[in-house]
Structure formats: C-alpha cells, structure tokens
Amino acid sequence: MIIYTKKVRKRSPSKGKQVPQTIAKPGLTRNKLTLCVWWDRKGIIHYELLPPGKIFNSNLYCRQLMRLKHEVEDKRPELIDTESDVFHHMTT
C-alpha cells in the first residue's frame, strides 16, 4: 500500500532576508477509495472499489474471496483445481 501525503502546499514569498513561512494546504481531506484487484497472467479477473471509510478486515476479505471464486469459475474455469497463481493488489 502506498500513501502519499503532502501537508504543505507552498512557501509564501519572502521580503528581503526574512525566512519564508509555510502555508498549510487548505481543505485537506481523507476521502480515499481503496481498490482491490485480483489478476493472473491473462489479465484482471476481479476488482472491487471500496467506499470511503470502509474498513478492510478479515470478514470483508473472505467475502471478496468468495466473489473472486465465482468470477474465476465464470472467467477462468481452467484455473479451478490447478496450482495456478492469482495475484491480489490493494491500493488506496
């Protein structure tokens, strides 16, 4: 997971030898979405976009795995009962 936070927008112009002061970035928000993606060597199998503030916990992960199972059955039936890899990535 990669989180990038920039709390300072810019420095104010300085006059003469004064040290420029930092200005706080207005309207900092925490409106973040979480994207969960599962794929294999052929491409994306399943993805879900979680609403803001949704907590990713074991119950949600298990429900997603069940939905992934149905997607694999529909999109990649050749992966059932094999040792093929399916990758998962989650980003905010």
- The domains of the chain are located at 38-92
pLDDT band at 26 (very low <50, low <70, confident <90, very high): low
Q: Are 92 and 32 in contact (CB under 8 A)?
A: yes
b or e along 55-80 (b: 16 or more beta carbons within 10 Å of the residue's beta carbon)?
A: eeeeeeeeebeeebeebbeeebeebe
Distance CA 85, CA 69 (A): 13
Would you call 10 exposed, middle or buried from its count of C-beta atoms within 10 A (0-12, 13-18, 19+)? exposed
The pTM is what? 0.57
Residues 44-90 have pLDDT tens digits of 889 998 887 788 888 988 999 999 889 988 988 888 877 777 777 77
Given this model, what pLDDT does residue 39 score? 86
Classified as helix, coil or strand, 45 is strand
Given this model, what pLDDT does residue 70 score? 92
